[in-house]
């Protein structure tokens, strides 16, 4: 190993390495000084597009066959040049697209290329940017949720989302296909307290040309302790014709109800009404009559009758 280092450090070897490096450099410079015909790639970007229009095609690539020295081509070996078009003055505008004719607008390329380039051909001979008119639409947000409550706990209104809808902005033909936007699934098990969190919308399947007024929503839920109660509620018969005398039983029906522990004491019999409609009875002198339960207290989450009908007798 030491002998090799001694050889490499000799004057003759150093001169040889320098000679090889200079020869290689001379070869590169010779190559770069020669004239070549090459294809240059230009990425075309359009700017100053009115807010009322949205481009629905991707940026185009322009291929320019040109002649110049290797020195001039060198920068384009490492990057794709960009050609910027102004939608207000560089293109021809129709109802659905912007049209640019490269061969009629060589000055745009000349402003990028130096005078040392000679341009032979440009492909394609026309560049089209399709656009659609912008539109907006308010669509509802569909909440995906998987929740359960701890024993003895519940919520009056369940999960609430803000906002409950999102404004879509984009091409009219695309917007009309969207009827709702879904959220990521919220999973909460054995809830026993209030909770609030930000939940993102599912946007992976949404067209890239659409813009949304928001990308997430606030999800909240108020959780309380709940309990059941039972009250005996009198039955009232309605729509009894004049001259008709009836008797029915039972006169009262047990009603079970479900409410929060905080509101349990505020519930009483005046919050319920049980009615039976005489006009729905058959022509026979006796039979069953369906009953209907109504509640007037918003603190009652649910209520249920112990039975759904009464026996009625029409008396002479």
14 pLDDT above the threshold of 60 = no
CATH number at residue 229: 2.170.120.30
pLDDT at 24: 52
pLDDT at 13: 55
Q: Are residues 203 and 248 in the same domain?
A: no
- Domain membership flag for residue 51: yes
Q: Are residues 46 and 65 in the same domain?
A: yes
- Domain membership flag for residue 82: yes
Could you give the CA distance from residue 77 to residue 58 in angstroms, rounded to a whole number? 23
pLDDT at 277: 92
Residues 37-71: pLDDT tens digits? 777 888 888 899 888 888 887 668 888 887 777 67
Q: Are residues 179 and 240 in the same domain?
A: no
Between 285 and 96, the more confident residue is 96
Q: Are residues 166 and 89 in the same domain?
A: no
Q: Are residues 120 and 194 in the same domain?
A: no
Full residue range of the structural domain in which residue 292 is found: 225-315
Question: How many domains, in total, are found in the chain?
Answer: 3
Q: Cα 75 vs. chain centroid, distance in angstroms? A: 42
Check: pTM over 0.75? Answer yes or no: no
- Domain membership flag for residue 7: no
| Residue that is last in its domain, among 125, 144, 174 | 125
For the chain, give the percent of residues with pLDDT over 70. 83
CATH number at residue 196: 2.170.120.40
Q: Which of 272, 199, 283 is nearest to 241 (CA)?
A: 283
- Domain membership flag for residue 304: yes
What is the 8-class DSSP label of residue 183? B
Residues 188-214: pLDDT tens digits? 999 999 999 999 999 988 888 888 999
Q: Are residues 230 and 218 in the same domain?
A: no
Write out the two tokens for 132.
């659609």
- Domain membership flag for residue 189: yes
Do 234 and 251 form a contact (C-beta atoms < 8 A)? Answer: yes
Given 3-state DSSP classes, what are the helix, strand and coil percentages for the chain, each rounded to the nearest 5? Answer: 20, 50, 30
- Domain membership flag for residue 30: no
What is the three-class DSSP state of 70? helix
Q: Which of 214, 198, 304, 201 is nearest to 259 (CA)?
A: 304
Between 32 and 127, the more confident residue is 127
| Residue that is last in its domain, among 66, 100, 125 | 125
Could you give the CA distance from residue 260 to residue 266 in angstroms, rounded to a whole number? 10
Instruction: Report the mean per-residue pLDDT for the chain.
Output: 85
Cis peptide before 163 (omega within 30 of 0): yes
Could you give the CA distance from residue 196 to residue 220 in angstroms, rounded to a whole number? 4
Write out the two tokens for 215.
């990308």
Bridge partners of 122?
Answer: 64
Could you give the CA distance from residue 156 to residue 222 in angstroms, rounded to a whole number? 8
Residues 206-241: pLDDT tens digits? 888 888 999 999 999 999 999 999 999 999 999 988
The three-point CA angle 38-42-44 to 5° equals 160
Could you give the CA distance from residue 75 to residue 81 in angstroms, rounded to a whole number? 9
Q: Are residues 193 and 207 in the same domain?
A: yes
Rg (CA), the chain: 41
């Amino acid at each position: 190993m030491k002998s090799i280092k001694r050889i490499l450090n000799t004057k003759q070897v150093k001169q040889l390495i320098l000679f090889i490096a200079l020869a290689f450099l001379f070869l590169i410079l010779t190559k770069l000084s020669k004239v070549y015909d090459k294809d240059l790639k230009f990425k075309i970007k359009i700017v100053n597009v009115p807010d009322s229009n949205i481009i629905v095609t991707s940026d185009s690539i322009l291929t320019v066959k040109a002649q110049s020295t290797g020195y001039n081509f060198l920068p384009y070996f490492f990057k794709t040049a960009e050609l910027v078009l102004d939608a207000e003055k560089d293109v021809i505008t129709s109802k659905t697209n912007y049209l640019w004719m490269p061969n009629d607008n060589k000055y745009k390329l000349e402003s990028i290329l130096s005078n040392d380039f000679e341009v032979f051909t440009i492909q394609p001979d026309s560049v089209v940017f399709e656009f659609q008119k912008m539109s907006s639409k308010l669509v509802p947000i569909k909440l995906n949720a998987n929740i359960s409550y701890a024993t003895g706990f519940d919520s009056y209104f369940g999960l609430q989302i803000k906002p409950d809808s999102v404004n879509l902005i984009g091409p009219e033909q695309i917007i009309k296909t969207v009827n709702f936007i879904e959220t990521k699934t919220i999973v909460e098990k054995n809830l026993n307290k209030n909770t609030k969190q930000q939940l993102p919308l599912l946007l992976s399947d949404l067209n890239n040309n659409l813009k949304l007024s928001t990308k997430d929503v606030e999800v909240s839920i108020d959780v309380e302790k709940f309990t059941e109660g039972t009250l005996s509620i009198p039955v009232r018969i309605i729509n009894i014709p004049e001259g008709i005398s009836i008797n029915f039983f039972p006169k009262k029906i047990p009603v079970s109800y479900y409410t929060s522990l905080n509101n349990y004491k505020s519930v009483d019999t005046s919050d319920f009404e049980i009615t039976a409609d005489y006009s729905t009875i058959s022509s026979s002198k006796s039979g069953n009559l369906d009953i209907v339960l109504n509640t007037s207290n918003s603190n009652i989450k649910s209520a249920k009758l112990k039975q759904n009908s009464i026996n009625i007798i029409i008396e002479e």
